A and B are shown apart, each in its own frame.
Chain A
Amino acid sequence: GENVEQHPSTLSVQEGDSAVIKCTYSDSASNYFPWYKQELGKGPQLIIDIRSNVGEKKDQRIAVTLNKTAKHFSLHITETQPEDSAVYFCAALGSGTTDSWGKLQFGAGTQVVVTP
C-alpha cells in the first residue's frame, strides 16, 4: 500500500519569510495529492491539491509542486503570517487497482509556527 513521509515535523519561521514542507510517496499509481491545514480544535481543512498530470499549482500565497519521477511533492507558503500557524498534512490518494484505491494516506504532519 501507499506510504507517505513528511518533513520536517516542526517548522518555525519569522513572519514574512517562506515555509516549505516536503513529502514523498511510495505508490506510483497515486494520482491525487492534497494538503490539509488543521488549526487547534478543528478538523483538517483542504487548502490546495494537485493531480499527477500537473507539475505545479498556485493559489495566492500557497503553491504545491509535484515531481512524479522522484515521487515527491512540496507545499510552499510565501509571506507567512501568524494565522498560517497550524499543523499541515500532506496526503496521497491511490488509484487504479492497487489496494490504496480510494483511500487517502497521510503524512505525519508538520507543526508550523510563525513568529511576529
Chain B
Amino acid sequence: DVKVTQSSRYLVKRTGEKVFLECVQDMDHENMFWYRQDPGLGLRLIYFSYDVKMKEKGDIPEGYSVSREKKERFSLILESASTNQTSMYLCASRPQGSDGYTFGSGTRLTVV
C-alpha cells in the first residue's frame, strides 16, 4: 500500500514563526497536494506539485509557500504564522495517469 507520512500529528507555534510541514510518500508518485481542512468548509487546496521543483497555486495559497526538491517529499511553509492558519493540514499524493488520491493522517497546527 502507498504510504503518505506527515512528520507531525500536532504542532503548536507562535504568531510570526516560520513553520515547516513535511510530507513524504513512498510510491514514486508524481503529484502531491496540500489541503487544509476546516469545519464546515471541507478540504481546500493550498498548493500542488506535479513534478520535482514544479508547483502550482491552489484555491487558497495566500500566506503559504511550498518546496519540492525531491520527488518523495513535499513541504508546506508558513512564512509568518498567523492565528487564522490554525487548522488541520492534509497532504496527498497521486500517480500520473491515475485519479486516486492517497492522504496522510494530517497535522493539526495551532498558532497562538
Contacts and interface: CB of A to CB of B under 8 A. Distances in A.
B103 A49 contact: no
A103 B48 contact: yes
B104 A89 contact: no
Contacts of B50: 102
Contacts of A89: 42-43
Nearest to A43: B103
Contacts of B58: 103
B99 A49 contact: yes
Interface residues of A, number: 25
Contact of A34 (B45, B48, B99, B105): B99
A1 B104 contact: no
Given A32-B99, A49-B99, A43 B42 contact: no
Given A1-B59, A34-B99, A103-B58, A41 B42 contact: no
Contacts of A4: 42
A83 to B, nearest CB: 18
Q: Is the interface of A mostly helix, strand, loop or mixed?
A: strand
Contacts, number: 52
B90 interface: yes
Interface stretch (A53-61, A68-76, A106-114): A106-114
Contacts of B103: 36, 43-45
A109 B44 CA distance: 12
Contacts of A44: 43, 90, 103
B99 A108 contact: no
A41 B105 contact: yes
A115 interface: no
- 9 shortest A-B CB distances, which residue pairs? A43-B103, A106-B43, A108-B42, A106-B42, A32-B99, A43-B105, A44-B103, A109-B42, A43-B106
16 contacts: A9-B40, A34-B101, A42-B106, A43-B90, A43-B105, A43-B106, A45-B103, A89-B42, A89-B43, A91-B43, A102-B48, A106-B35, A106-B42, A106-B44, A108-B42, A109-B40
Interface of B: 4, 31, 33, 35, 40-45, 48, 50, 58-59, 90, 99-101, 103-106
